[in-house]
């Protein structure tokens, strides 16, 4: 059953008129199908960033290097040696705007730039993906007109977007003139460059508009089409099709009576020449005809059914915390909406499909903080994303060779084919080496959750081996015989310490080398001979390097960490006061994330100080929730979670450039792995909850080994119920209580003493 938008637990709402909030809300109320994404702009507001229309994986190039600001002390991430060779950066292309709309009332245009806005409300129905805004506009003659726009991207038909526009003269009769179609004057919000040229415009019949564009850098063609249906008596309406230099639209003109709404349904279809490579081929005319035949209401009913199935598997229900409940569902909705569920050739961009400001690149946070949601609820999408990483080994090998190393180095900012999008002027392309370990960490989590041994053979083992080879080649001799270290590297917060070291990198590489050695040995044992891709000497070398990797907690010389891009004031006295805190915060954040991801590593846990300093970055806040929850520190856990929510949703400066996919994923991550204390490893399912004060319950579903596992956590009890999809013998540990869960079985464990 569809949850109605009036339900406050399922409706994200904004009534803000502030300039910063209007820009922020463009991302918050955007719509996506995983194939395409459209920003949630108020169509009559033409100030601020350019409207965003994206197709996942459709890239061009922009001059990203040219946007960097010159400073007397450039950020540590930049390498001046390569400035002269800096070229264009591959980036997702902001395509023509198929939501083009201009409304004239008696030849007076309704536009927010002229003021007169009253009672604005924007909503996103999280249960269906229906984005809606409504406002009343008082014009210079003191007449009030109501504007309402609804839209959604159909996840059952990834090329389609449905829109409904309603204009109502509230206290007057007027002639309405509507221009509705496609605008080809959009540009990159990063550099203000236009990534395409218009090559085709047509409108025949008048209610249909078509635009074709060409993206020169990668020779990609994109077609956009829309069809408009007036829901009114057409006898009083004049309709014409118009083509201009960079726009094509249908113009409706009709007389509208007081308090009588005029409604237009708009059906939008996007296709690309990349569709064949991405496995999402569609005929644009067939799609448009099918959308017209289906109509807005029928399509919305289908959309509701599709989302209902997703929410059945992915919902997280919180008892006793309505604000947190809405925020968690908001994050889940946007992550599921942007997931590339149609192929295994793409991943999720760092700003999802809500903005082009992130370049459309995929970063390491994709595997650490986003894939866990998919791995444990929609494993087929996680499998596809990991297969995309496996396909990226080809450019990763080329990168490793260019740096003089064996193996493969995965991209810091990956493009559609897994290629590195940033140039060598960005040190992170060489120093951000922990990406391989992060991806392999997600791989092993997927394998533990699904027992998908075929994927390990086809994709996973190669990822592990090529990553281990790169790390073995990249490792440097330590200060004492038999030890190894990594210098000139950056941790997850993208800031090096004074010696260019990272606790997190060393810890994760150590884990990866041992994991790769174990996996390769297991394959060797199963085949009764060494696999052709790896030798016993290599395996032994990986174990030797892992055993000798410096654990920085044991080295007093590395306790003093500087954060070179931190805003330390130039006055020496002030710098001396703040610098130690910033140094410690950076050091503790690096260590804290390693400890959060590797909870069985006692060295990391022992190295954490009793009162660690807080960097309060997105990554650090996620780690804070996990580490505090494992110590059952409810106050610190909840405080970090609240700061993470504000960073993810309520900070206009953060969201003006699109939703931060990692921060959104971190909210789910914090709830399940932090508050619920879930851990899925080779030994099964572990639960050790730490609910915040005021939360009376946390309910969610995990899918493990093909079986749905319902979990209900209260301050006093954990209830686990297994589905009956297939045979199951799952080892489970709840606050030290061990048992084996079978299909169709329910277990209750009292946990009050643990909290």
Tens-digit pLDDT profile for residues 450-476: 999 999 999 999 999 999 999 999 999
Mean pLDDT of 534-553: 89
pLDDT value for 111: 87
Q: 278 falls in which pLDDT band (50, 70, 90)? A: very high
What span, in angstroms and rounded, lies between the C-alpha atoms of 101 and 103? 7
SS3 call for 4: coil
CATH number of 38-58+93-311: 2.70.98.40
Task: Give the model's pLDDT for residue 582.
Answer: 43
pLDDT class of 604 with cuts at 50, 70, 90: confident
- Using CA atoms, how far residue 70 sits from 64, 83, 490, 574, in Å, is 14, 12, 22, 24
356: left (phi over 0), alpha (psi -120 to 50) or beta: alpha
Structure-model confidence comparison of residues 633 and 232, the more confident one: 633
Q: Where are the alpha helices (DSSP H) in 5-159?
A: 19-28
Residue 613 has pLDDT above 70, yes or no: no
Residues 63-76, mean pLDDT to the nearest whole number: 78
Q: How far is CA 416 from the centre of its chain?
A: 15
Is 559's pLDDT higher than 80?
no
Two structure tokens written together for 590 = 């690096």
The pLDDT score that the predictor gives to residue 526 is 64
Q: Tell me if 582 sits within 8 A of 563, measured CB to CB.
A: yes
At 586 the pLDDT is 61
Considering the chain, tell me which residue range(s) the CATH 2.60.420.10 domain(s) occupy: 316-344+616-755
Which residue, among 85, 47, 6, 16, has the nearest Cα to 649 in the 3D structure?
16
- According to the model, what pLDDT value does residue 495 have? 65
**Yes or no: domain 316-344+616-755 corresponds to CATH 2.60.420.10:** yes
Mean pLDDT to the nearest integer, 182-186: 97
**What gap in Å lies between CA 515 and CA 600, rounded to an integer?**
14
Judge contact between 476 and 404, C-beta under 8 A. no
42 phi/psi in degrees, rounded to 5: -75, 120
DSSP 3-state assignment of 352?
Answer: strand
The pLDDT, as a whole number, for residue 39 is: 95
d(CA 450, CA 703): 8
Q: Average pLDDT of 143-158?
A: 96
- Indicate the pLDDT class of residue 554, thresholds 50, 70 and 90: very low
pLDDT band at 565 (very low <50, low <70, confident <90, very high): very low
- Residue with the bigger pLDDT between 303 and 85: it is 303
Instruction: Give bridge partners of residue 609 from the DSSP assignment.
Output: none
DSSP state of 407: S
Contact 701, 377 (CB under 8 A): yes
- Per residue in 130-150, pLDDT tens? 999 999 999 888 999 999 999
pLDDT, greater one: 556 or 358: 358
The pLDDT score that the predictor gives to residue 567 is 34
What pTM does this model have?
0.93
pLDDT of 444 over the 50 cut: yes
Lowest mean pLDDT among 199-213, 353-367, 643-657, 741-755: 643-657
Categorize the per-residue pLDDT at 234 as very low, low, confident or very high, splitting at 50, 70 and 90: low
Flag whether pLDDT at 635 surpasses 80.
yes
Q: Where in the chain is the domain with CATH 2.70.98.40?
A: 38-58+93-311
- Which residues 6+ apart lie within 8 Å of 369 measured at CB? 622, 662, 665, 666, 669
Task: Quote the CA–CA distance of 645 and 330 in Å, as a whole number.
Answer: 11
Q: What is the pLDDT of residue 558?
A: 39
At residue 54, does pLDDT exceed 60?
yes
Q: Which pLDDT does position 479 carry in this prediction?
A: 87
Is residue 752's pLDDT more than 70?
Answer: no
Token pair for residue 258?
């007081």
Answer whether residue 651 shows pLDDT above 70: no
Q: What is the pLDDT of residues 484-501, one digit of tens each?
A: 999 999 888 776 555 678
Model confidence at 273, in pLDDT bands (50, 70, 90)?
A: very high
Task: Give me the pLDDT at residue 16, please.
Answer: 84
Q: How many CB atoms lie within 10 A of CB 241?
A: 17
Tally helices (H) and strands (E) across the chain: 21, 31
């Amino acid at each position: 059953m569809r949850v109605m938008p009036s339900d406050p637990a399922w409706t994200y709402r904004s009534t803000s008129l502030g300039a910063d909030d209007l820009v922020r809300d463009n991302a918050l109320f955007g719509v996506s199908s995983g194939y395409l994404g459209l920003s949630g702009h108020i169509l009559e507001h033409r100030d601020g960033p350019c409207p965003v229309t994206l197709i996942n994986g459709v890239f061009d190039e922009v001059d990203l290097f040219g946007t960097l600001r010159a400073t007397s002390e450039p950020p540590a991430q930049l390498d001046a040696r390569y400035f002269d060779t800096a070229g264009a950066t591959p980036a997702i292309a902001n395509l023509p705007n198929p939501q083009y709309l201009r409304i004239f009332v008696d030849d007076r245009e309704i536009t927010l730039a002229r003021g007169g806005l009253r009672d604005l409300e924007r909503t996103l129905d999280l249960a269906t993906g229906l984005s809606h805004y409504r406002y009343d506009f008082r014009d210079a003659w003191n007449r009030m007109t109501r504007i309402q726009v609804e839209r959604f991207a159909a996840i059952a038909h990834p090329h389609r977007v449905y829109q409904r526009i309603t204009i109502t003269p509230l206290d007057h009769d007027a002639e309405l003139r509507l221009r509705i179609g496609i605008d080809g004057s959009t540009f990159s919000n990063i550099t203000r460059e236009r990534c395409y040229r218009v090559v085709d415009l047509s409108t025949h019949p008048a209610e249909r508009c078509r635009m074709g564009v060409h993206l020169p850098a990668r020779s990609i063609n994109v077609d956009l089409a829309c069809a408009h249906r007036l829901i009114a008596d057409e006898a009083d309406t004049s309709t014409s099709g118009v083509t201009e230099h960079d726009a094509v639209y249908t113009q409706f003109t009709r007389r509208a009576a007081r308090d009588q709404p005029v409604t237009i349904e708009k059906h939008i279809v996007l296709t690309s020449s990349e569709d064949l490579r991405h496995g999402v081929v569609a005929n644009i005319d067939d799609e448009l005809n099918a959308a017209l035949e289906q109509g807005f209401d029928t399509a919305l009913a289908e959309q509701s059914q599709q989302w209902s199935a997703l929410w059945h598997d992915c919902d997280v229900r919180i008892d006793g915390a309505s604000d947190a409940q809405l925020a968690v569902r908001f994050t889940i909705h946007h992550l599921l909406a942007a997931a590339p569920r149609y192929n295994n050739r793409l991943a999720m961009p760092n700003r999802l499909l809500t903005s082009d400001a992130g370049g459309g690149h995929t970063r390491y946070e994709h595997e650490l903080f986003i894939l866990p949601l998919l791995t444990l609820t929609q494993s087929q999408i996680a499998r596809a994303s990991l297969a995309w990483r496996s396909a990226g080994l080809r450019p990763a090998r080329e990168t490793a060779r260019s740096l003089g190393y064996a193996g493969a180095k995965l991209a810091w900012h990956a493009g559609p084919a897994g290629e590195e999008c940033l140039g060598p002027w960005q040190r992170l392309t060489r120093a951000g080496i922990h990406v391989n370990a992060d991806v392999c960490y997600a791989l092993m989590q997927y394998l533990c959750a699904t027992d998908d041994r075929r994927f390990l053979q086809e994709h996973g083992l190669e990822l592990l081996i090529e990553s281990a080879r790169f790390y073995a080649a990249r490792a440097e001799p330590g200060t004492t015989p038999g030890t190894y270290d990594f210098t000139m590297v950056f941790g997850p917060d993208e800031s090096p310490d004074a010696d260019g070291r990272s606790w997190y990198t060393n810890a994760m590489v150590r884990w990866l080398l041992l994991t790769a050695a174990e996996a390769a040995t297991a394959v060797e044992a199963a085949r009764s001979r060494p696999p052709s891709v790896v030798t016993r000497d290599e395996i032994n070398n990986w174990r030797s390097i892992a055993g000798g990797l410096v654990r920085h907690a044991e080295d007093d010389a590395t306790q003093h960490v500087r954060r070179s891009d931190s805003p330390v004031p130039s006055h020496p006295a002030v710098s001396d006061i703040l610098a130690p805190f910033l140094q410690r915060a950076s050091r503790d954040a690096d260590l804290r994330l390693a400890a959060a991801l590797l909870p069985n590593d006692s060295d990391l846990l022992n190295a954490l100080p009793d009162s660690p300093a807080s960097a309060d970055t997105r990554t650090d806040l996620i780690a804070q929730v996990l580490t505090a929850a494992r110590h059952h520190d409810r106050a610190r856990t909840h405080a970090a979670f609240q700061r993470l929510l504000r960073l993810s949703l309520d900070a206009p400066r953060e969201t003006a450039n699109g939703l931060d996919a990692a921060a959104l994923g971190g909210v789910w991550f914090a709830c399940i792995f932090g508050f619920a204390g879930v851990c899925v490893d080779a030994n099964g399912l572990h639960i050790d909850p730490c609910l915040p004060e005021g939360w009376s319950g946390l309910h969610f579903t995990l899918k493990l080994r093909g079986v749905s596992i319902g979990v209900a956590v209260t301050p006093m009890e954990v209830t686990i119920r297994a589905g009956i999809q297939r045979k199951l013998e799952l080892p489970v540990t709840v606050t030290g209580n061990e048992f084996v869960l079978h299909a169709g079985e329910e277990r209750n464990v009292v946990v009050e003493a643990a909290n």
